[in-house]
C-alpha cells in the first residue's frame, strides 16, 4: 500500500526500504506491526536528541501555536537567541546566517568565500579546494564541490567552475595558486567513510591558510552539534575556522542549516537570503536541541555514552576479525571498515532483518550515527542484534 503510493506519486530518487515507521522513542523505532528497531542512524545524524523527544516536541508545539513564520524582513527572537547560543558554545567570535539544509549552508559559505575573493585581493580569487571522498551536498554547486567524480554526472552539466580536489591534506599546499580563495573540508569525512584527519595536519593547515589570507571552511553538517563529543569538531581539533557550516543534528529533525563565520561584514544586506531560513519554528526547535545537548555534555552523560558505545563496538570487532577490519571515527560518529562492499551490503540488510538500522559510508564502511541520547539498554540491544546479523553472514 505505502510502497505502491510511494512508487506511483513520489519521484524515485532513493533506493528505499518499504518499512512503515509509526512511532519512535529515543533510539527505538516501531513499525506499523509494532515491531521494534534500534536506530543506529538517527536519520543520518539528524535526530540527535532521539525520536519522540518530549521537550523538543513541546518547544515545537508551543512555537507552532504562536507564530511559525514571519519572514526575515523582521527580527526573529528565537533566531537571534539560537545564533547567540552557537557563538557561545563554539567559543568563537562569530555570527550566523540560517539556511534550511546542509547543502544550502555550504552554498552560503561558498558565496561568502567568493565575495571575499572578489573584494579582499588585488586580483579576483574564486577557487575553492576540497578533498577527494568529501561530500558537500546535492545542489549544482555543492555537488561540484564534492570530491567524488561519480557524482559529477554529465547529466547535470555544466557545473560552476572553480573547484579543485586534492587527495590528501598535504597536497593542498601545492594546489594553492593566486586564484585560490578557500579550502573547504570536513574534519571527519562522513559520507566518504567516517574518516577523521590528523589533528596536527589540520592545525598546520589552518595556520598556513591564515598566514596566506585564504579562508578555511569546515563543513560540520555531519560532525557538528556534539556528534564528535564536542559542540563542534573544530573545538575538538582546536582550530578557529573562518566559516563553519552546520545542519543535520542542529534541529533534531526540523530542517535547518547554519553558516557560522567570524567574518561578520562580508555579507551586506541583499547579498544573501532565504525565505524559510531561521524561521520561528526551526530556530525554536534547534534552540531546545542545543540546550538539551549542552546539558547532556556538561553532566558527563555524553562522554559516558561515547565510552560505552565504543567498548561495545570494540567487543564486536574482536569477535568478527575476518569480516570487520577496523574501527574508525570519533565520538558517536563511528564506522567499521568491512572486508568488502558485498559483505557490507549483506550486513546492512541482515541487520535490518534482525531489527537494527545501520548506514553505509564510502565503499566498505558500516556507519553508526546513533542519537546522542541513546540509552545503554538500546546500545546493548543494538549490538546484540548486529551480532545476530553477523553470525548469520560469517
Ligand atoms: C549531509 C551532508 C551535507 C548535505 O546536507 P543536506 O542537508 O542533505 O543538504 C553536506 N555536507 C556534509 C558533510 C554532509 O554530511
Res 394 pLDDT > 80: no
Eight-class DSSP state of 324: E
390: Cβ–Cβ under 8 A, 6 or more apart, which residues?
Answer: 316, 319, 320, 323, 324, 347, 350
At 359-374, the pLDDT tens digits run: 999 999 999 999 999 9
Helix H or strand E segment including 31? strand 28-31
148: Cβ–Cβ under 8 A, 6 or more apart, which residues?
Answer: 132, 133, 134, 135, 192
Q: Atom 11 in ligand 1: which residue has the minimum CA distance?
A: 136
Residue 176 grid coordinates: 594553492
pLDDT band of residue 234 (cuts 50, 70, 90) is: very high
Give the pLDDT of residue 227. Answer: 98
Give the pLDDT of residue 130. Answer: 98
Contacts of 196-202 spanning 24+ positions with Cβ under 8 A: 196/328, 196/329, 196/330, 197/169, 198/169, 199/236, 199/237, 199/238, 201/169, 201/170, 202/169, 202/237, 202/239
CATH 1.10.8.50 given to domain 56-298: no
At 8-49, the pLDDT tens digits run: 999 999 999 999 999 999 999 999 999 999 999 999 999 999
Which of 119, 247, 108 is closest to 184 using CA atoms? Answer: 108
Q: In the predicted model, what is the mean pLDDT of residues 315-341?
A: 97
Ligand 1 in reach of 221 Cβ (< 6 A): yes
Cα dihedral across residues 227, 230, 232, 234: positive or negative: negative
Residue located via cell numbers 559483505: 343
Q: Which of 105, 191, 197, 257 for a ligand 1 pocket mutation test, highest count of atoms within 8 Å of Cβ?
A: 191
At 95-124, the pLDDT tens digits run: 999 999 999 999 999 999 999 999 999 999
Give the Å distance between the CA of 393 and the centre of ligand 1. 32
Query: How many other C-beta atoms are found inside a 10 Å radius of the C-beta of residue 95?
Result: 16
Res 57 pLDDT > 90: yes
Q: Which of 106, 146, 187, 221 for a ligand 1 pocket mutation test, highest count of atoms within 8 Å of Cβ?
A: 221
Give the pLDDT of residue 241. Answer: 98
Res 149 pLDDT > 90: yes
Q: Atom 5 in ligand 1: which residue has the minimum CA distance?
A: 102
At 247-293, the pLDDT tens digits run: 999 999 999 999 999 999 999 999 999 999 999 999 999 999 999 99
Give the pLDDT of residue 246. Answer: 99
Ligand 1 in reach of 242 Cβ (< 6 A): no
Percent of the chain with pLDDT over 90: 99
Mean pLDDT (the chain, rounded): 98
**Counting runs of H as helices and runs of E as strands, what totals does the chain give?**
13, 17
Q: Enumerate the β-bridge partners of residue 359.
A: 367
Res 337 pLDDT > 90: yes
pLDDT band of residue 78 (cuts 50, 70, 90) is: very high
Q: Where are the domains of the chain?
A: 56-298
Percent of the chain with pLDDT over 70: 100
Query: How many other C-beta atoms are found inside a 10 Å radius of the C-beta of residue 215?
Result: 26
19: Cβ–Cβ under 8 A, 6 or more apart, which residues?
Answer: 31, 37, 352
Helix H or strand E segment including 96? strand 95-99
pTM, 2 dp: 0.98
For 24, 254, 313, 356, 387, the CA distances from 106, given in Å and listed in that order, are: 30, 18, 32, 32, 38
Res 321 pLDDT > 80: yes
Amino acid at each position: 500500500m505505502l510502497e505502491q503510493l510511494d512508487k506511483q506519486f513520489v519521484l524515485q530518487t532513493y533506493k528505499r526500504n518499504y518499512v512503515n515507521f509509526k512511532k519512535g522513542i529515543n533510539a527505538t523505532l516501531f513499525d506499523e506491526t509494532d515491531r521494534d528497531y534500534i536506530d543506529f542512524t538517527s536519520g543520518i545524524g539528524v535526530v540527535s536528541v532521539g525520536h519522540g523527544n518530549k521537550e523538543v516536541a513541546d518547544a515545537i508545539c508551543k512555537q507552532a501555536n504562536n507564530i511559525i513564520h514571519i519572514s526575515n524582513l523582521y527580527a526573529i527572537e528565537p533566531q537571534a537567541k539560537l545564533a547567540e547560543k552557537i557563538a557561545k558554545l563554539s567559543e568563537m567570535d562569530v555570527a550566523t546566517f540560517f539556511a534550511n539544509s546542509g547543502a544550502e549552508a555550504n552554498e552560503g559559505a561558498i558565496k561568502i568565500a567568493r565575495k571575499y575573493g572578489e573584494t579582499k585581493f588585488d586580483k579576483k580569487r574564486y577557487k575553492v579546494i576540497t578533498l577527494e571522498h568529501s561530500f558537500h551536498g546535492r545542489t549544482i554547486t555543492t555537488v561540484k564541490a564534492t570530491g567524488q567524480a561519480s557524482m559529477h554526472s554529465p547529466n547535470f552539466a555544466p557545473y560552476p567552475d572553480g573547484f579543485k580536489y586534492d587527495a590528501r591534506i598535504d597536497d593542498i599546499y601545492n594546489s594553492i595558486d593566486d586564484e585560490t580563495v578557500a579550502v573547504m573540508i570536513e574534519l571527519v569525512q562522513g559520507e566518504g567513510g567516517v574518516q577523521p584527519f590528523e589533528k596536527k595536519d589540520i592545525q598546520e593547515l589552518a595556520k598556513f591558510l591564515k598566514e596566506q589570507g585564504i579562508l578555511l571552511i569546515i563543513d560540520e553538517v555531519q560532525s557538528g552539534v556534539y556528534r564528535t563529543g564536542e559542540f563542534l569538531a573544530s573545538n575538538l581539533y582546536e582550530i578557529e575556522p573562518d566559516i563553519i557550516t552546520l545542519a543535520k543534528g542542529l534541529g533534531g529533525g526540523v530542517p535547518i542549516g547554519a553558516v557560522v563565520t567570524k567574518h561578520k561584514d562580508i555579507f551586506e544586506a541583499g547579498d544573501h537570503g532565504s525565505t524559510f531560513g531561521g524561521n520561528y519554528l526551526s530556530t525554536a526547535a534547534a534552540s531546545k536541541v542545543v540546550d538539551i545537548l549542552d546539558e547532556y555534555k556538561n553532566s558527563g552523560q555524553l562522554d559516558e555514552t561515547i565510552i560505552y558505545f565504543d567498548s561495545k563496538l570494540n567487543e564486536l570487532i574482536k569477535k568478527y576479525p575476518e569480516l570487520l577490519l577496523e574501527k574508525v571515527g570519533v565520538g558517536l560518529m563511528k564506522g567499521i571498515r568491512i572486508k568488502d562492499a558485498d559483505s557490507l551490503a549483506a550486513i546492512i540488510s541482515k541487520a535490518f532483518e534482525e531489527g537494527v538500522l545501520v548506514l553505509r559510508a564510502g565503499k566498505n564502511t558500516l556507519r553508526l550515527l546513533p542519537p546522542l541520547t541513546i540509552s545503554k539498554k538500546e546500545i546493548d540491544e543494538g549490538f546484540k542484534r548486529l551480532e545476530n546479523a553477523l553470525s548469520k553472514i560469517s
